[in-house]
Amino acid sequence: MDNEEIKLSDLEATKRDHKVEITDIAISKIPYVKYREIPEDQYETLQALAKAVLKISRDENDCNEVAIAYDLDGPQKELDGEEYLAWAKGDEYSVEPMSDTETNHVIVSAKGCVVVILHNHPNLSKISLEDVMFMLRLPTIKMVVAVTNRGAIGYIVKTEDYEKNRLAAYKLMEEAVERNDRAFDLKQKQDACDYFLHNCYKVGLIYEDH
């Protein structure tokens, strides 16, 4: 699915008009999540990455958005001397992981990649339509984890049934974007995102928040 196939014309307008500063308390609140469809031995690493995305944002990017790409085959790639972890820095409103050379490489070379994103819009869904479209158009991405400045987590992950439901997932995304583009206030835009998240189980995806 190419970027041109679905237009997210107004999604940036759904985000907060100011960012929330990141505190040590928020970092300490990052939960230990038993991610579905992900091996149990990865849970601690993913918790550490969720904390890391907050620390990088606070200490190196003025509390702006950050994305970390992590190859689930990281332990083996580390032994082989290959890159398996990288991050990209964004601005107050968005981050584009593929714009960073190292992050791009980790994502496209992975068999199963997790992208952990720090978001500056904690009053909205932790996962945005932009996050979902990013995951759908890149077959190597297994899961997207969104972390808010306040330490809350949401994630969406592909199941074994996703591939046979891929076209249905694209159709569901198109319906959600159409709802977003028809919306005239923040609540309706939020409803458009919720429409996708509440129905994604039908197309081989799982969404949870913590």
Q: Is residue 51 assigned to a domain?
A: yes
Instruction: Give residue 121's pLDDT.
Output: 61
Residue 209 lies in a domain: no
Q: Kindly state the average pLDDT of the residues 83-103.
A: 95
CA atoms within 13 A on the CB side of 116: 28
Q: Per the domain annotation, does 58 fall within a domain?
A: yes
Cβ-contact 200, 152 below 8 angstroms: no
Angle formed at CA 167 by CA 195 and CA 135, multiple of 5 degrees: 65
Domain of 46, CATH number, reads: 3.40.140
**pTM metric for this prediction:** 0.90
CA–CA dist 189, 125 (Å, integer): 10
In a domain, residue 23? The reply is yes
Angle between helices 186-199 and 166-182 (to 10 degrees): 170
In this structure, is residue 47 part of a structural domain?
A: yes
Task: Please report whether residue 164 resides in a domain.
Answer: no
pLDDT confidence of residue 43: 98
**Above 60 in pLDDT, residue 6?**
no
- Span 139-177, pLDDT tens digits: 999 999 999 988 999 999 999 999 999 999 999 999 999
Tens digits of residue pLDDT in 176-199: 999 999 999 989 999 999 999 999
Question: Mean pLDDT for the chain?
Answer: 90
**Residue 30 included in any domain:** yes
Residue 102's domain spans which residues? Answer: 8-157
Token pair in block for residue 27: 């970092």
Domain count, the chain: 1
Q: Is 195 a domain residue?
A: no
